[in-house]
């Protein structure tokens, strides 16, 4: 190794490591339990995720996590854009978040209208989501709607029998979900294909 190269290597090794931002810890009230979470306050665009009202609301009390942190913890496989259709379902009796639902968010990230359903992920591969979005794009599914919010979500809504029939008609991985407990157990069901995953929202 040449002398200039030795000096360069020594300089690199002796240079201090770039300081990493320390996470900010907070507490979220989920299913009547205090759950510790963490987030990066230096994240670009952080303030775009919550309102001034929420900043004030989370600055005191035990429930100190911004709503976007809570929603991220419940939907770890989605990007913030893909989370667009979802809001946090709040239970007044326990004063806690009990899941997430479809709908507009209020200033605290909660469902603006009283939530009637609760959503859960129902598949572990992207095949079903691709099949549903592809069928919707071809116009092969009646009643499918793509949300114009940049999330890329396709939503099918209707009775349990209708949704099971539609999924069966699509075939493949989508058909395999037609008998999923998350779909069969609900009288009214919405199926959301977004971000390579499928979610069932049922009453």
The pLDDT assigned to 192 comes to 93
The pLDDT assigned to 61 comes to 56
The pLDDT assigned to 142 comes to 81
Instruction: Give the C-alpha separation, 177 to 167, whole Å.
Output: 7
Instruction: Give the C-alpha separation, 94 to 32, whole Å.
Output: 6
Angle of helix 127-137 relative to helix 160-170, nearest 10 degrees, comes to: 90
Domain boundaries, the chain: 24-115, 127-202
The pLDDT assigned to 185 comes to 77
Q: Where are the alpha helices (DSSP H) in 79-156?
A: 127-137
The pLDDT assigned to 82 comes to 92
The pLDDT assigned to 1 comes to 45
Low-confidence ranges of the chain (pLDDT < 50): 1-19
Q: What is the pTM of this model?
A: 0.78
The pLDDT assigned to 36 comes to 95
Find how far residue 16's CA is from the centre of its chain: 37
Provide CB contacts within 8 A for 26, sequence distance 6+: 36, 37, 38, 39, 58, 64, 65, 66, 69
Q: Within a 10 A sphere around the Cβ of 154, how many other Cβ atoms? A: 23
The pLDDT assigned to 138 comes to 87
Taken in order 35, 69, 151, 124, the sign of the CA dihedral is negative
Tokens of 187: 């009288």
């Amino acid at each position: 190794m040449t002398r200039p190269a030795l000096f360069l290597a020594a300089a690199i090794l002796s240079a201090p490591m770039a300081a990493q931002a320390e996470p900010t810890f907070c507490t979220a009230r989920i299913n009547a339990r205090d759950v510790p979470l963490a987030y990066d306050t230096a994240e670009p665009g952080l303030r775009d995720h919550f309102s001034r009202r929420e900043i004030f609301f989370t600055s005191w009390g035990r429930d100190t996590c911004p709503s976007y942190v809570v929603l991220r913890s419940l939907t770890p496989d989605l990007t913030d854009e893909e989370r667009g259709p979802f809001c946090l379902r709040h239970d007044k009796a326990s004063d806690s978040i009990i899941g997430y639902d479809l709908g507009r968010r209020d200033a605290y990230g909660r469902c603006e209208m009283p939530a009637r359903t609760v959503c859960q992920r129902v598949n572990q591969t992207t095949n079903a989501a691709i099949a549903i979005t592809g069928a919707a794009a071809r116009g092969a599914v009646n009643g499918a709607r793509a949300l114009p919010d940049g999330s890329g979500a396709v939503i099918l809504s209707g009775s349990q029998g209708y949704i099971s029939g539609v999924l069966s008609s699509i075939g493949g991985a989508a058909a395999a979900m037609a008998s999923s407990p998350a779909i069969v157990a609900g009288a009214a069901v919405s199926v959301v294909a977004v971000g390579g995953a499928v979610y069932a929202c049922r009453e």
